[in-house]
Structure 1
Amino acid sequence: MKERLYAPETILVNEGNEVENLIILKEGMLETTSSFCAHHSYETKGIFGAELLIPGIKSFESIRVIENSRVLLLEKELVEKFLLSNSSLVIYLIKKYIEKIISLNKKIFGDIKKENENKKNSEHLIDKNLDVVDISKKYLKRHRRREYTSIKDHNIQLYENGRKLFNAGKIKEALNEFKKIQFNKFDMYFQAEVEIWKDLCMILISPDKKYYLEKTLREKYPFIKELFSFMVFESVITNKPLIKPLVTYLKSGYLLPSHTVLFHEGEEGDWAFMILSGNVRVSKFSPHGEKLLAILSNEEIVGEIACFKDVERTATVFTSTPLQMIKIEKNNLDSLVTNDPGFGLKIVKKLIMRLEFERYWASPMNFDEKLTYMIKKYGKNTLNKSHLKIEEILSLFRITDKKPNEVIDYLFKSNIARLRTDGTLKFI
């Protein structure tokens, strides 16, 4: 670590160049400018150059000294360890990159709220008495051809309330909440999740039952070891201290059933989540169909802007599989990162990768390069599990200059994918 004093007009980093050091401003003022993100700010404190956390990622901003400034320069190999011991700087970085994503979204998509108003007033004339949220609900059901549970469902709320009571040490009250939950419309993963917490409550009340309850869970649910809640369960019955990721799950982690809507387009939002396992679809719905925007899976952040300010959701997000996730709310972001800086650092890296994806996608690429990049981004396993039709692939891969039959012909001839009997694509 080196401390340096820089005079005004000194350029510390140029946008698009490799970052050599993490920069920590101790005194003075720096100007940051990002032409790609359309973002500009003056900073009298803060941390810069965290792109070096991920090899090969170049700076998203230029950094210029405005007045005499004293900074600390930290070498690449020391950065991660340093940040893990300084959670306040990790929180600062999360907010910094979210600001850049907000600016970039405005640059790419404009005013989302105004766009939703225009939709309500023009595109959906047949639904002129419905708001954007109701339109999303209506056409989700029509185009997906099934009933979806809402995260606001009474039974899911009982589960969340029970978890909060458990964390508050109100074990008997938590057990009563878990006992009220009806499982008839949910998958086995959600049933297992609730039974684990119910059994944990029973163990804390009557410890002598712990091995019997563990054996019953293992026999009833072959997949039980996949659940973070069961890892918590095992730590409790063996009196082992919880590792930090399990502490984070205990405080803010939840399992949601498959086919659950987390939020609809147009809803107000003040929370986000990180996926631990499973995947979600991010889509827009209208009378014309479903437009698939993304499939997000392990360690992806969803709805991150809501951690920073109240916003209208720009799309409908719903589970395709059982989903284990960490819920990130405005009022718990700081405590989550303080208690588990490693979790915060994962968020920082994912936000950087989000920006890097948009920057790469904006660079000149031919069709072959775009296709290869997107298949690599999502992974063949996720794509095949999602059973996507060609129209969904075009939307997901942001391919606007090719017709469906042209893409199908290319995929077949290049031996990249083949057609299943249900009309979906299987990548080879």
Structure 2
Amino acid sequence: MREFLYAPDRILVNEGEYIKELILLKEGKVEIFSNFCGYSSVESKGIFGAEMIVPNTKSFESIRIVENSRIVLIEKELAEKFLLSNSSLIIHLIKKYILKIISLNNKIYGSVKKNKNNKENIKDKNLTKEELSKKYLKISRRKLFHHIEDEHFRIYTKARWLFNKGKIKESLNELKKIQYTNFDIYFQAEIEIWKYLCMILISPDKKYYLEKTLKEKYPFVKELFSFMIFESIITNTPLSKPLVTYLKSGYLIPSNTVLFYEGEEGNWAFMILTGNVRVSQFDERGERLLAVLSNEEVVGEIACFKEIQRTATVFTSTPLQVIKIEKSNLDELVISNPAFGLKIVKNLIKRLDFERYWHSPLSFEEKLNFMIKKYGKNILNKSQLKIEEIKELFRINDKKDSELIDYLFKSNIATLRADGTLKFM
């Protein structure tokens, strides 16, 4: 680490450059401005240039000294170690990158107006966005969806809260109220793990019998973070930081569950640990797929910064293990587990870098290859996407369905399953 005193008008970083050192402002003021994000501010504290912690990512902003400033430059090799030892700076970066995403969204989508040629369904005239989303999700998907705020999820979260407060008997009583057989087998396993853990803490002599029962009944149980906690507790092994984070704020959400509808108010987000969600908008024309999000991606991150109306409907396509991030617990989560906070920072940087790349001039082949690499063939195949959904997800507007299918087949990129979904090879 090296410390310098810089005079006004010194340019520390130009937007679009690779960053060589992390920049910590100790005294003075700097102006930052981003043409891409449509964002600018003058700041008297903070850290800059964190894009360097994600390989091959260029700066999103230019940084200029506006008054005599004391700057500490931190070498690339020390950057992550330095941030992990300064959780307050990680929190600062999370909020900073969320502001950039908000600004970028306003720049890209703020001026988009509703097409007057799309006549509104008279029956939908008095419905809110949330009501419209619920209506057309049901029509489009033709199946029953749970919601994260339904009664049984409320009981589940209450039971977990009681468990963390040491009120084990009260937690067990709440867990017994949950009719979990109505949900997928992963959620059934989740509820039984917490029930059995409560029973063991009340009567320790049952621990090995209950552990054996879980393993025999649910062959996949070792994949669940709750079972990892279960095993740590019955063997008196200290919980690792990721498991402490899951114990405090982690949940398993079954498949076919809505995290939030477009138009809902929200002040929380999720980091996905395992599983996939679909981010979509619904109307009388059906579903418009905006994104598929998976491991270590954050959904609803803007709500960590300010209370907003959701701009899309997000629902699970597989069982999901997540960390719930709220405005009220963001600081605590990062302070107790800085590595978790740094994952959020990296995810936000990747989100911005994706948009920057996507808005650069790209050929059809470059778009296609980039998106397949971004999502990964495994996630694309698990999502069971139809050709029109691939076009929406990959933002390909200049090809007919038949042209795209023909290209995928001839290039040995994907084949068509019997149900009409694509299988990537």
Q: TM-score category by the smaller chain?
A: over 0.9
* Equivalent residue in structure 2 for 1:204, among 201, 206, 212: 201
Equivalent in the alignment of 1:261: 258
1:142 equivalent to 2:139? Answer yes
Q: What do residues 59-82 of structure 1 show as CA deviations (whole Å, max 9, x unaligned)? A: 000000000000110000001111
| Secondary structure of the structure 2 residue equivalent to 1:123 | coil
SS in 2 for 1:365: coil
Aligned 8 A contact 1:34 1:61 in 2? yes
Aligned to 1:171: 168
Give the conservation status (yes or no) of the 8 Å contact 1:196–1:217. Answer: yes
The total of aligned residue pairs comes to 424
Cα displacement (A) at 1:125:
3.5
Q: Distance in 2 between matches of 1:209 and 1:182?
A: 24
Task: Name the amino acid aligned to 2:246.
Answer: Y
Provide the rounded CA distance (Å) in 2 between the counterparts of 1:82 and 1:26: 15
What pairs up with 1:7-406 in 2 under 5 angstroms?
Answer: 7-110=7-110, 123-406=120-403
Structure-1 separation of matches of 2:225 and 2:262: 29
- Percentage of matched positions with identical amino acids: 71
Rounded to whole Å, the distance in 1 between the matches of 2:110 and 2:282 is 19
Matched to 1:108, the amino acid is: I
Letter of the 1:304 counterpart: E
Name the CA distance, whole Å, in 1 between partners of 2:383 and 2:12: 45
CA deviation after TM superposition for structure 1 residue 126, in Å: 3.1
1:124 CA displacement: 4.1
| Alignment deviations for residues 129-157 of structure 1 (CA, whole Å, 9 cap, x no partner) | 21100000000000011010011111111
1:9-53 Cα deviation digits (max 9, x unpaired):
000000000111100000000000000000000000000000010
The 2-side partners of 1:175 and 1:413 are apart by 57
SS in 1 for 2:395: coil
CA distance in 2, matches of 1:111, 1:331: 32
What is the one-letter code of the residue matched to 1:75? E
Whether the aligned pair in 2 keeps the contact of 1:124 and 1:286 (CA below 8 Å) is no
- Cα distance in 2, alignment partners of residues 396 and 52 from structure 1: 28
Find the aligned partners of 2:120 and 2:211 in 1 and give their Cα distance: 55
Deviates more, 1:410-419 or 1:89-98: 410-419
**Would you say the 8 A contact 1:95–1:308 is kept in 2?**
yes
In structure 2, what residue type is equivalent to 1:388? Answer: L
Letter in 2 for 1:147: L
| SS of equivalent residue, structure 1 residue 184 | helix
Report the Cα distance in structure 2 between the residues aligned to 1:303 and 1:123, rounded to whole angstroms.
28
Q: Deviations over 1:327-383 (max 9, x none)?
A: 000000000000000000000000000000000001111000000000111111111
CA drift at 1:185: 1.6
Question: Is this contact kept in 2: 1:51–1:57, CA < 8 A?
Answer: yes
- Matched letter for residue 213 of structure 1: L
CA distance in 2, matches of 1:56, 1:125: 51
1:177-227 CA-to-partner distances (Å, cap 9, x unmatched) read 000000232011001001111111111111111111111111111000000
Aligned equivalents of 2:384 and 2:199: distance in 1? 41
Runs of 4+ in structure 1 off by over 4 angstroms are: none
Distance 1:411 1:246, change over 3 A: same
Deviation, 1:423, is: 1.1
CA contact (8 A) 2:180 2:191 kept: no
Answer with 378-387 or 349-358: which moved more: 378-387
> Where does structure 1 lack aligned partners over 5 or more consecutive residues?
none
* Other-structure match for 1:411: 408
Cα distance between partner residues in 2 of 1:257 and 1:55: 34
Contact 1:23 1:74 in 2 (8 A): yes
